[in-house]
Structure 1
Amino acid sequence: MLKSLSYKLTSYIENNSDIKSNDDLEKINYSLQAILNETFKIIVLTILFLLLGKINYFFFSMIILFSIRIFSGGYHADTTIKCLLWTTLFFLITSLIAPMLPKLNILIYNTISLLSIIVVYFRTPYPNSNRPIKNKKRRWHLKLISTFFITFWVTILLFTTSDTRYLNCGFLTILLQILQLIPIKKGVSI
């Protein structure tokens, strides 16, 4: 449904603008699909976490995730439903389970912090076949921004977050995101 809507919008743009290049139209269609899919997911997840009474942790986790993932990349499901299921699982872990965990030893938080910064620096931007990054300057730019955001969030969590529920929610969000950036052997799928 969302795919057909994006095609209709792209067709409308093609018929009512000077844009006629197939390459440009494909980019517009891909962007529209991404926007529609994300909007759909956010609406569904917001309703779910409102019903669960965990909307504050969901939004906290979402802000951390989006500010890192936009620049670092990560796993992409091949359908909207699979994406919604994976995203729901992700946020159930970070927003429902993480706040219930006890405060961990500071060494664990520091280890996750260091590992996160290293992985993000060396593995971003993570390749995406639908949106390849061929320009080295752009790759470097995305690497710096994603490293900045991971460092920013780790610093905020370690030095200003006294509530263990938010601390665990934030660190589990970061940990789950960086695990997506660690390469796995060919033939093994997520």
Structure 2
Amino acid sequence: MHSPIDLFVYKIYKEKLLSHSDLRKMKYAMRVIWNEGIKFIILLLFFARLNKVSFFLFSLGLLLSIRLFSGGLHFEGGLLCFVISFNFFSLAVLILPYLFTLSFHRALILMLISTIIIYYHSPKPSIFRPILNKKRKRILKYLSLFSTLLWIIVLFKFIFIHNQTFFECGIWTICLQSFQLLPVKEVVQ
């Protein structure tokens, strides 16, 4: 049994609308969008059940605005990707903010370490989408650093004063994102 994505790509192939290379890219993009959509719905339902949707969405928004430029861990299998994502958001939203209460100074130290890691270890692209252009790689590095610093300013200047849980959720999200850059091997260029 073929998936709807396979059937759609086959139809495009038969009509000779795109090159083989473009068909592979389209199929990859469609699978990524499908898998991410399913993962998002499951995570949203899980956090809704725990009445933590606002923290999950905050963490997700923060993560995406940094990860878009910094890259990070990527997995071939959808199940492993889901398990890692589930663990990431469980740590950032449910576990770490309640396990470790962060003082202003501890949070500042964690952000300094995270910023250094993001500066030296980003971007880390997927092996399916390597960055071959050095200028693009440098731009992504600076954008990931800018996004991280912008979030740090927002967290310390605005959120820290009003909501400690959101603050800690944001701090842990940035930390986890930066720490996941460490084990990723550099794509050979």
TM-score by length of 2: 0.88
The whole-number CA distance in structure 1 between the counterparts of 2:144 and 2:116 is: 11
Match of 2:3 in 1: 4
CA RMSD across the alignment:
2.0
Is 1:61–1:95's contact at 8 Å kept on the other side of the alignment? yes
**In 1: Cα distance, 2:14 partner to 2:184 partner:** 44
Counterpart of 1:188 in structure 2 is none
Give 1:21-60 correspondences, 5 Å limit: 21-60=19-58
Cα deviation, 1:103-151, whole Å, max 9, x if unaligned, reads 4232211112222222112211114211111011221221121111111
Q: In 2, distance between residues paired with 1:110 and 1:182?
A: 20
Partner Cα separation in structure 1 for residue 149 and residue 5 of structure 2? 36
Alpha-carbon distance between aligned partners in 2 of 1:104 and 1:120, rounded to the nearest angstrom:
21
Deviation at 1:73, TM superposition (A): 0.8
CA distance in 2, matches of 1:17, 1:99: 53
Q: 2:83 aligns with which of 82, 85, 89?
A: 85
1:159 corresponds to which of 157, 160, 169? 157
Question: How many Å separate the matches in 2 of 1:46 and 1:61?
Answer: 12
**1:142 is paired with a residue of what secondary structure?**
helix
- Local SS of the residue matching 2:85: helix
The whole-number CA distance in structure 2 between the counterparts of 1:16 and 1:166 is: 51
Distance apart, 1:26 and its partner CA: 1.3
**Residue 112 of structure 2 corresponds to which residue in structure 1?**
114
Unaligned ranges ≥5, structure 2: none
Separation in 1 of the partners of 2:135 and 2:11?
Answer: 34
Residue-pair matches, total: 183
Check conservation: 2:73, 2:184, Cα contact below 8 A: no
Other-structure match for 1:183: 183
Q: 1:134 to 1:35 in 2, by over 3 A?
A: same
- Residue 147 of structure 1 corresponds to 145
Q: What is the alpha-carbon distance in structure 2 between the residues aligned to residue 28 and residue 184 of structure 1?
A: 26
The verdict on how the C-alpha distance between 1:147 and 1:5 changes in structure 2, with shifts beyond 3 A counting, is farther
| Higher mean C-alpha displacement, 77-86 vs 93-102 | 93-102
Maintained 8 Å contact 1:98/1:165? no
Runs of 5+ consecutive residues of structure 1 not aligned to the other structure: 186-190
CA gap of 1:10–1:138, structure 2 versus 1, over 3 A, is: farther
Q: Shift of the alpha carbon at 1:96?
A: 1.3
Structure 2 Cα separation of the partners of residues 184 and 168 of structure 1: 25
Counterpart Cα distance in 1 of 2:58 and 2:180:
20
Give the secondary-structure state (helix, strand or coil) at the position aligned to 2:3. helix
Q: Is the 8 A contact 2:114 2:174 kept in 1?
A: yes
Give the TM-score of the pair, scaled to structure 1: 0.87
* Superposed displacement of residue 184, structure 1: 6.7
1:105 aligns with 2:95: no
